C-alpha cells in the first residue's frame, strides 16, 4: 500500500534577541513565515531491505538514496552511504537520527519528496511549475542545491524539521501533528539531527520556529546535545537518544506570539551578505573579555527586546477588546510615517500612544544593537544598514525596522500597516536609498508544522 501524507514547516525572520538567545538567560522573538518547506511521503512494505530516498526535484541532482541494513541501527549510531556517493549532510543526519531513535524492525521502501517555497532561495535561473489545481507553484533551478543562493530563512532547519515529521509518519500511520507531545518529539529529534549535521550547537531558534511557528523562544542547554555527540561507545547511542528525546526536560520556552492583526512584516533581502559564525565569534569574544560592560548591554538590549514583545501583545489585546478603536489606530498608522508619529508625540498631539510605543521599542533595540556593533567590531548594524533603517522611518505606514538575527548585510525586517505594504514596495522601488533592497514576497504565517492536503501537490510528485 502506498500512503501519501504531506507536512510543511515554516521559514523564519528573527526579529528580536539575536546573540542574546545563545544564552538561556534571555528570550528571543522569532516570526514564522509564509515561505515553507514541504515533505511528501510515499511508503510501501518491503521484504529484506529498507530503502529511503529523499528527492528534491527543484534542484539539479536533488536525489539522495540509501539502501539500509536495519541491524546496523540496532542500538547503534550508524553512518549512511548514498548509493551514488552524493552528499547532503542534513538529509543523512535526519535519516540516521530517526532510525537510531526508532530502531525499526520491519523493512519499507520510503520516498520523501521535498518542495521548498520560493522565498528560501534566489530565483535566478529557475522556472516555475504548478500543481494540477494551480494552488501550489514552486521554482525549479538549473543548479544543485549547494550552488543556489539562500535568502536566510533557514532552509536547513525547514528541511530537517519537515523531513523528521515525514519520516516519523512513515513508521506511525496514526501520527497526529496536533498532538503536543508529538510536536515536542519532532522538535527534539530535529534539533539533534540539525546540530549533528552542522557539527555545532547553535541556539536552535530556527528549528524551534520551524516546529512551533512564531514564538518567544528560550534555548536548551547545549550540553544536552554535546553529551550525546560525545558518546564514544556507539552501542549506547540509541539508548541515550531515546532518553534525551522522550524523557528529558529540555527546559525550552516556545510561547506562541505573533504580530498583531493589521500589522505585517516586510523582509528586504540586501545585495551582499554576512557570515553568521564570524559575527558570533566576535561578539562572544568581546562578551568574555568585557563581562561587566557586556552584562549591562545585554540587560538593556534584552529589556528593549521584551518591551517590543509586550507592546505588540498589547496591540493584539486591543484589537480584540476594542476593535473600533483598533481600526482607527491602524488607519492612523497607515496614514503616517514613524517620523511623523514621533513628531506628533513630541508636540503632544499623538492620537494613539500604542503606535509610538512600538516605534520607541524598535528604536531602542537598534540603539543597543548599534552599541554592540561598535563595541564588538562585528558588523551587526553597519552604517549602510543604519542609513537604510533610518530611511524606512520616513515611509508612510512604516513603524521602522531592524537587522534580523545576526544582522550584517543579509536583510532588513520592517513592520508596516497592512494597507501600506504594496505602497511601500512600490514607492521604494525607484529610490536610490533603497537600491540594494529586494522586498521578498512573503509575510508572517504564525503556524509551525502543519499537515497539507495531498490534492494540492498532484502533478508535482
Ligand X SMILES: Nc1ncnc2c1ncn2[C@@H]1O[C@H](COP(=O)(O)OP(=O)(O)O)[C@@H](O)[C@H]1O
Residues that bind ligand X (CB under 6 A): 56, 88, 90, 114, 116, 145-146, 150, 154-157, 159
DSSP 3-state assignment of 70? helix
Question: 146 is in the binding site of which of ligand DP6, ligand X, none (Cβ under 5 to 8 A by kind)?
Answer: ligand X
Question: 213 is in the binding site of which of ligand DP6, ligand X, none (Cβ under 5 to 8 A by kind)?
Answer: none
Give how many residues touch ligand DP6 by CB under 6 A.
15
* Helical segments of 154-275, H only: 155-171, 180-198, 205-212, 223-229, 237-242
382 binds ligand DP6 (CB under 6 A): no
- Give the residue closest to ligand DP6 by C-beta: 405
Question: 21 is in the binding site of which of ligand X, ligand DP6, none (Cβ under 5 to 8 A by kind)?
Answer: ligand DP6
Query: Which DSSP state fits 441?
Result: S
Range in contact with ligand DP6 (rule: CB under 6 A) among 62-70, 177-185, 327-335, 402-410: 402-410
203 binds ligand DP6 (CB under 6 A): yes
Question: 155 is in the binding site of which of ligand DP6, ligand X, none (Cβ under 5 to 8 A by kind)?
Answer: ligand X
The neighbouring-strand residues paired with 109 are: 44, 51
154 binds ligand DP6 (CB under 6 A): yes
Q: Which is nearer to ligand DP6, 11 or 397 (CB)?
A: 11
Question: 22 is in the binding site of which of ligand X, ligand DP6, none (Cβ under 5 to 8 A by kind)?
Answer: ligand DP6
Question: 203 is in the binding site of which of ligand DP6, ligand X, none (Cβ under 5 to 8 A by kind)?
Answer: ligand DP6
| Nearest Cα to Cα of residue 308 among 267, 358, 259, 371 | 358
Least Å distance, CB 362 to ligand X, is: 25
Q: Whole-angstrom Cα distance, residue 381 to residue 389?
A: 9
119 binds ligand DP6 (CB under 6 A): no
Q: Which is nearer to ligand X, 42 or 261 (CB)?
A: 42
**Exposure on the CB side of residue 336, measured as CA atoms within 13 A:** 21
Neighbour count for residue 90 (Cβ, 10 Å): 22
Residue with cell 498631539: 349
Least Å distance, CB 388 to ligand DP6, is: 17
Least Å distance, CB 118 to ligand X, is: 11
**For 253, phi and psi rounded to 5 degrees?**
-110, 135
Question: 186 is in the binding site of which of ligand X, ligand DP6, none (Cβ under 5 to 8 A by kind)?
Answer: none
Least Å distance, CB 404 to ligand DP6, is: 6
Compute, in degrees rounded to 10, the torsion defined by CA atoms 176, 178, 181, 186.
Answer: 70
Q: Whole-angstrom Cα distance, residue 457 to residue 445?
A: 20
DSSP 3-state assignment of 27? coil
Q: Which residues contact 322 (CB under 8 A, 6 or more apart)?
A: none
Least Å distance, CB 369 to ligand DP6, is: 11
Among 9, 10, 11, 18, binds ligand DP6 (CB under 6 A): 18
Q: Which is nearer to ligand X, 50 or 56 (CB)?
A: 56
224, containing H or E segment: helix 223-229
> What is the rounded end-to-end Cα distance, in angstroms, of the chain?
17
Residue with cell 522538535: 187
Q: Are 356 and 350 in contact (CB under 8 A)?
A: yes
Exposure string over 144-175, b if 16+ CB within 10 A, otherwise e: ebeebeebbbbbbbbbbbbbbbbbbbbbeeeb
Range in contact with ligand DP6 (rule: CB under 6 A) among 16-24, 31-39, 187-195, 419-427: 16-24
Question: 406 is in the binding site of which of ligand X, ligand DP6, none (Cβ under 5 to 8 A by kind)?
Answer: ligand DP6
Question: What is the chain's length?
Answer: 461
DSSP 3-state assignment of 140? strand
Contacts with ligand DP6, residue ranges (CB under 6 A) = 14, 18-19, 21-22, 152, 154, 202-203, 205, 276, 280, 404-406
Amino acid at each position: 500500500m502506498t500512503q501519501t501524507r504531506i507536512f510543511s514547516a515554516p521559514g523564519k525572520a528573527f526579529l528580536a534577541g539575536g546573540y542574546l538567545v545563545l544564552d538561556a538567560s534571555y528570550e528571543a522573538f522569532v516570526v514564522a513565515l509564509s515561505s515553507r518547506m514541504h515533505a511528501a511521503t510515499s511508503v510501501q512494505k518491503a521484504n529484506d531491505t529498507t530503502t529511503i530516498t529523499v528527492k528534491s526535484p527543484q534542484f539539479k541532482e536533488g536525489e539522495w538514496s540509501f539502501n539500509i541494513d536495519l541491524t546496523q541501527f540496532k542500538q547503534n549510531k550508524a553512518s549512511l552511504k548514498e548509493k551514488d556517493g552524493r552528499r547532503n549532510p542534513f538529509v543523512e543526519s535526519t535519516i540516521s537520527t530517526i532510525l537510531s531513535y526508532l530502531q525499526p524492525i520491519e523493512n519499507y521502501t520510503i520516498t520523501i519528496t521535498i518542495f521548498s517555497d520560493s522565498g528560501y532561495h534566489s530565483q535566478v535561473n529557475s522556472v516555475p511549475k504548478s500543481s494540477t489545481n494551480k494552488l501550489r507553484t514552486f521554482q525549479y533551478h538549473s543548479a544543485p542545491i549547494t550552488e543556489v543562493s539562500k535568502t536566510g530563512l533557514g532552509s536547513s532547519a525547514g528541511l530537517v524539521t519537515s523531513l523528521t515529521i515525514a519520516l516519523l509518519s512513515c513508521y506511525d500511520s496514526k501520527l497526529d501533528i496536533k498532538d503536543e507531545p508529538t510536536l515536542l518529539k519532532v522538535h527534539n529529534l530535529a534539533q539533534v539531527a540539525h546540530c549533528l549535521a552542522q557539527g555545532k550547537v547553535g541556539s536552535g531558534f530556527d528549528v524551534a520556529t520551524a516546529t512551533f511557528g512564531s514564538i518567544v523562544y528560550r534555548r536548551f542547554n547545549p550540553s544536552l546535545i554535546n553529551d550525546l555527540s560525545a558518546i564514544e561507545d556507539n552501542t549506547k547511542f540509541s539508548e541515550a537518544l531515546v532518553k534525551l528525546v522522550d524523557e528529558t526536560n529540555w527546559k525550552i520556552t516556545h510561547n506562541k506570539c505573533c504580530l498583531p492583526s493589521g500589522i505585517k512584516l516586510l523582509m528586504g533581502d540586501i545585495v551582499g551578505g554576512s557570515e553568521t559564525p564570524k559575527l558570533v565569534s566576535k561578539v562572544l569574544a568581546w562578551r568574555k573579555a568585557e563581562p561587566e560592560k557586556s552584562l549591562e548591554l545585554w540587560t538593556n538590549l534584552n529589556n528593549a527586546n521584551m518591551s517590543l514583545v509586550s507592546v505588540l501583545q498589547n496591540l493584539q489585546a486591543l484589537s480584540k477588546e476594542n476593535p473600533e478603536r483598533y481600526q482607527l489606530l491602524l488607519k492612523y498608522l497607515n496614514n503616517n510615517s514613524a517620523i511623523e508619529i514621533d513628531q506628533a508625540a513630541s508636540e503632544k498631539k499623538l492620537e494613539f500612544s500604542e503606535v509610538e510605543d512600538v516605534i520607541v521599542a524598535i528604536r531602542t533595540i537598534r540603539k543597543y544593537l548599534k552599541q554592540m556593533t561598535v563595541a564588538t567590531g562585528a558588523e551587526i548594524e553597519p552604517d549602510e544598514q543604519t542609513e537604510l533603517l533610518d530611511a524606512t522611518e520616513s515611509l508612510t505606514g512604516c513603524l521602522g525596522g531592524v537587522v534580523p538575527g545576526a544582522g550584517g548585510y543579509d536583510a532588513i525586517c520592517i513592520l508596516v500597516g497592512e494597507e501600506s505594504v504594496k505602497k511601500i514596495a512600490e514607492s521604494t522601488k525607484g529610490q536610490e536609498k533603497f537600491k540594494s533592497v529586494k522586498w521578498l514576497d512573503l509575510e508572517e504565517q504564525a503556524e509551525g508544522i502543519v499537515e497539507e492536503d495531498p490534492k494540492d501537490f498532484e502533478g508535482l510528485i
